[in-house]
């Protein structure tokens, strides 16, 4: 397909991104935006119709009835491709969880530098789920036992990943009846690879059933371990003021952008950046200090906990370097573009890899080691400070938005009822009455195949007007933050009247930032607590809620979608389907598509669909929410029923003549 003539505003909805894309063009530098435009995606591989699992292929199935050299049908090939992606996504998130468990073990045994157990209450709560003794024990003793239990979940061979017991009882029974309870996290990932080797599992439905088991090992296993331990070690998020977009970079400071996923290093860099010795070192170098900013989920981790600003989401990683103001981009694992190093050669930016698992040719490698975490973090910052003198002209777009992130499961529970009566009751009641029509979790990536942030923010804004409470994680959360949808009560005039009343009463933004991508597990545990609170059914599939990833691109997103579906959620992905087939050419290529849609819905009550059109995503979301409301016997949603109280109404009343105020306020005739 010919390259399209696209303008910056066609590439991104974000004005800061548009400015940097103009700059890139002036400099003749390509980015993911232009590379995507230059190279059309392969329509055979993209639709899951290419099998390259053995040396007899790759086999491309483009004709009706065609099979691979071994006889594999299109359905088998699509199912294999999908489960491999889900296994890779699960492996990525869960391996992150494993590293967190090892860190917890090391902290418990005084083998680290700089870490402490910050949230002892969460440690005790989590340990309590598994019967680990708490009373009279030192937090480190409890942490040691919890770390051992969590580490064991990865290599466990039989039984049940212990975290699945935190799902609603009915859901656990359903998983058990369908043979998808994960036995051990690594075991399910390995088995997914085994089953898809040449000559193994060839029944598409059987393969997809194991895809569910693998994804559950992530959502109710590795990812949940990552979230639990991050909270225990670094603090459970609570609302904090933050900022997002490239305007957070500072001209007079050494800018260090931390990018990737695991909070172990980034948290230590936060601590090191506040060290007087490091600040003094920066001053000697001619800067006023060190300015930290995050990209991708690392951004979400430190934004949610310390309010460290986010420079942007996935497609901002190259754009931040293009400002010329970044002394070092420090990366660990996942979602790091190889293009960064070559791009950085046009500027003074040092790309620093830190994980023993990830190297990029041309990057500086300073390996992170939890035993010397603070020392390594200081070394990294000093390397960045030493680079300040090499900085040339800078172009920082003066664009940033303020936001309030930090809505963890625990904080939502607290904010609804306060310390003495923390509860989800007010949320359940608001949904039951129809003040809140339902809940949408809008999560996931940026993808240069669609206009950056546009789908995210369009869908978010439209659903807010329909009284749908929105929770967000990952790059989707940063998209909303950059475009100003996450600031307290600001912007509530664009929110449906019932939802607005709830936001004003509780004092929350209508879009709740719930953290990074591993923190999608917070959405699972929130849904579980909603179920346990009562009034909205006895399992997750009964709650009027939908998950959306409008701009997805990563294999992790497919794993997340699958565990959410298996937990009972309706999940809508934007963009193209990895198992879409080519409908005009291969008539029988929709078995897998049907299986993950209606097939999974029949078993788990949740389904996965790929929908390109934004308005159709919204229509299906609302239809699903209303269907679930009706099934629960809740009142039909009425857009004008609520909104007669709250700030908006008070302003209206204020404007009335005195003679009408009393009636307006109390429904009684005026005394005058
Ligand atoms: O894990 S949303 S682009 S950064 S994969 Fe990556 Fe996608 Fe962003 Fe976080 Ni999640």
DSSP letters spanning 6-53: --HHHHBS-HHHHHHHHHHHHHT---HHHHHHHSPPPTTTTTT-EE-S
A 10 A CB-CB count for 202 gives 18
Q: What is the pTM of this model?
A: 0.94
Question: Which is higher by pLDDT, 504 or 221?
Answer: 221
Q: Is 565 exposed, middle or buried (0-12, 13-18, 19+ CB in 10 A)?
A: buried
Q: What mean pLDDT comes out for the span 200-209? A: 97
What's the rounded Cα separation, in Å, for the pair 421 and 427? 13
pLDDT at residue 52 greater than cutoff 60: yes
pLDDT tens across 276-303, in order?
Answer: 999 999 999 999 999 999 999 999 999 9
Residue nearest to atom 4 of ligand 1 (CA): 296
Q: How confident is the model at residue 1 (pLDDT cuts 50, 70, 90)?
A: very low
Evaluate: CB of 517 within 6 angstroms of ligand 1.
yes
Output the pLDDT for position 375.
Answer: 96
pLDDT at residue 585 greater than cutoff 60: no
Q: What mean pLDDT comes out for the span 398-404? A: 96
Token look-up 């005026």 returns 670
What's the rounded Cα separation, in Å, for the pair 103 and 122? 16
Nearest to 464 by CA among 433, 432, 442: 442
CA of 153 to the centre of ligand 1 (A): 24
Query: Which atom of ligand 1 approaches the CA of 557 most closely?
Result: 5
How is residue 191 written in tokens?
A: 């088995």
Evaluate: CB of 89 within 6 angstroms of ligand 1.
no
Query: Which atom of ligand 1 approaches the CA of 553 most closely?
Result: 7
Q: What mean pLDDT comes out for the span 10-19? A: 97
CA of 579 to the centre of ligand 1 (A): 21
Evaluate: CB of 331 within 6 angstroms of ligand 1.
no
DSSP letters spanning 286-344: T-S-EEEEEEHHHHHHHHHHH-PPEEESGGGHHHHHHTS-EEEEEE-SSS--THHHHHH
Is the dihedral angle over the CA atoms 87, 92, 95, 100 positive or is it negative?
A: negative
CA of 496 to the centre of ligand 1 (A): 29
pLDDT at residue 672 greater than cutoff 80: no
CA of 366 to the centre of ligand 1 (A): 23
How is residue 422 written in tokens?
A: 């923390």
pLDDT tens across 85-107, in order?
Answer: 999 999 999 999 999 999 999 99
* Mutation to probe ligand 1, out of 95, 96, 318, 445 (largest number of atoms < 8 A from CB): 445
Residue nearest to atom 1 of ligand 1 (CA): 517
Q: What mean pLDDT comes out for the span 150-172? A: 97
* Mutation to probe ligand 1, out of 32, 331, 554, 573 (largest number of atoms < 8 A from CB): 554
Output the pLDDT for position 413.
Answer: 87
Q: How confident is the model at residue 605 (pLDDT cuts 50, 70, 90)?
A: very high
pLDDT at residue 148 greater than cutoff 90: yes
CA of 216 to the centre of ligand 1 (A): 19
Question: Which is higher by pLDDT, 510 or 287?
Answer: 287
Q: What's 73-90 look like in SS3? A: CHHHHHHHHHHHHHHHHH
Q: How confident is the model at residue 666 (pLDDT cuts 50, 70, 90)?
A: low
Q: What mean pLDDT comes out for the span 419-448? A: 90
Cα-Cα-Cα-Cα torsion 18, 21, 22, 23, nearest 10 degrees, comes to 130
Query: Which atom of ligand 1 approaches the CA of 552 most closely?
Result: 7
pLDDT at residue 522 greater than cutoff 70: yes
What's the rounded Cα separation, in Å, for the pair 339 and 318? 8
Question: Which is higher by pLDDT, 425 or 443?
Answer: 443
How is residue 237 written in tokens?
A: 């998020």
pLDDT at residue 668 greater than cutoff 70: no
375: Cβ contacts below 8 Å, ≥ 6 apart: 113
How is residue 62 written in tokens?
A: 């483009």
Beta bridge partners of 513: 472
Q: How confident is the model at residue 587 (pLDDT cuts 50, 70, 90)?
A: low
pLDDT at residue 568 greater than cutoff 80: yes
Q: What's 489-535 look like in SS3? A: CCCHHHCCHHHHHHHHHHCCCCEEECCCCCCHHHHHHHHHHHHHHCC
Q: How confident is the model at residue 176 (pLDDT cuts 50, 70, 90)?
A: very high
Q: What mean pLDDT comes out for the span 602-614? A: 97
């Amino acid at each position: 397909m010919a390259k399209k003539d696209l303008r910056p505003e066609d590439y991104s909805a974000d004005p800061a991104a548009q400015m940097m894309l103009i700059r890139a063009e002036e400099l003749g530098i390509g980015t993911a935006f232009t590379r995507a435009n230059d190279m059309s995606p392969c329509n055979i591989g993209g639709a899951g119709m290419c099998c390259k699992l053995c040396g007899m292929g790759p086999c491309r199935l483009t004709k009706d009835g065609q099979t691979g050299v071994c006889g594999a049908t299109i359905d088998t090939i699509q199912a294999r491709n999908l489960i491999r992606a889900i296994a890779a996504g699960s492996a990525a998130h869960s391996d992150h969880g494993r590293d967190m468990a090892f860190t917890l073990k090391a902290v418990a045994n005084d083998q680290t530098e700089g870490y402490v157990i910050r949230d002892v209450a969460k440690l005790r709560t989590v340990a309590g789920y598994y019967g680990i003794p708490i009373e009279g024990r030192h937090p480190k003793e409890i942490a040691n036992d919890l770390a051992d239990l969590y580490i064991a979940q990865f290599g466990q061979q039989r039984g049940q990943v212990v975290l699945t017991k935190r799902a609603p009882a009915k859901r656990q029974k359903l998983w058990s009846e369908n043979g998808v309870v994960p036995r051990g996290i690594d075991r399910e990932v390995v088995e997914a690879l085994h089953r898809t080797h040449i000559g193994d599992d060839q029944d598409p439905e059987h393969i997809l059933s194991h895809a569910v088991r693998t994804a559950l090992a992530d959502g109710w296993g590795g990812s949940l371990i990552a979230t639990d331990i991050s909270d225990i070690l670094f603090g459970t998020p609570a609302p904090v003021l933050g900022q997002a977009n490239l305007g957070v970079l500072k001209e007079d400071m050494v800018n260090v952008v931390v990018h990737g996923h695991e909070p172990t290093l980034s948290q230590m860099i936060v601590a090191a950046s506040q060290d007087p010795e490091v600040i003094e070192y920066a001053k000697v170098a001619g800067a006023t200090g060190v300015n930290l900013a995050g990209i991708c989920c690392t951004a979400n981790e430190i934004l949610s906990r310390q309010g460290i600003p986010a420079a942007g989401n996935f497609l901002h990683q190259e754009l931040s370097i293009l400002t010329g103001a970044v002394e070092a981009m420090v990366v660990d694992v996942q979602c790091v573009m190889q293009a960064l190093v070559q791009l950085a050669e046009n500027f003074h930016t040092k790309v620093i890899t830190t994980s023993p698992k990830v190297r990029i040719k041309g990057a500086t490698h300073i390996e992170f080691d939890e035993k010397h975490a603070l020392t390594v973090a200081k070394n990294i910052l000093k390397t960045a400070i030493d680079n300040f003198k090499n900085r040339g002209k800078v172009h920082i777009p003066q664009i940033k938005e303020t936001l309030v992130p930090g809505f963890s499961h625990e904080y939502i529970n607290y904010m609804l009822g306060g310390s003495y009566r923390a509860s989800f009751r007010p949320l359940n009641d608001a949904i039951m009455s129809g003040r809140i029509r339902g809940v949408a979790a809008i999560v996931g990536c940026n993808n240069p195949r669609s206009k950056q942030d546009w789908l995210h923010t369009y869908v978010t804004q439209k659903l807010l007007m329909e009284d749908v409470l929105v929770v967000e994680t990952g790059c989707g959360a940063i998209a909303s933050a950059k475009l100003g949808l996450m600031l307290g009560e600001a912007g509530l005039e664009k929110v449906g009247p019932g939802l607005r009343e709830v936001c004003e009463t509780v004092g929350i933004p209508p879009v709740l930032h719930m953290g990074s991508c591993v923190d999608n597990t917070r959405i699972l545990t929130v849904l579980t607590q909603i179920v346990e609170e009562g009034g909205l059914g006895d399992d997750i599939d009964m709650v009027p809620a939908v998950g959306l990833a409008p701009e997805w691109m990563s294999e992790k997103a497919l794993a997340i979608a699958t565990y959410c579906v298996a937990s009972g959620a309706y999940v809508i992905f934007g963009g193209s389907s990895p198992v879409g087939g080519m409908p005009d050419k291969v008539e029988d290529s929709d078995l897998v598509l049907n299986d993950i849609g209606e097939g999974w819905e029949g078993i788990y009550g949740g389904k996965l669909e790929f929908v390109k059109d934004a308005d159709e995503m919204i229509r299906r979301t609302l239809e699903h929410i209303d269907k679930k409301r009706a099934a629960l016997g809740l009142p039909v949603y009425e857009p004008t029923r609520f909104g007669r109280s709250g700030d908006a109404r008070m302003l209206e009343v204020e404007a009335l003549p005195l003679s009408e105020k009393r009636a307006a306020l109390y429904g009684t005739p005026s005394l005058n």
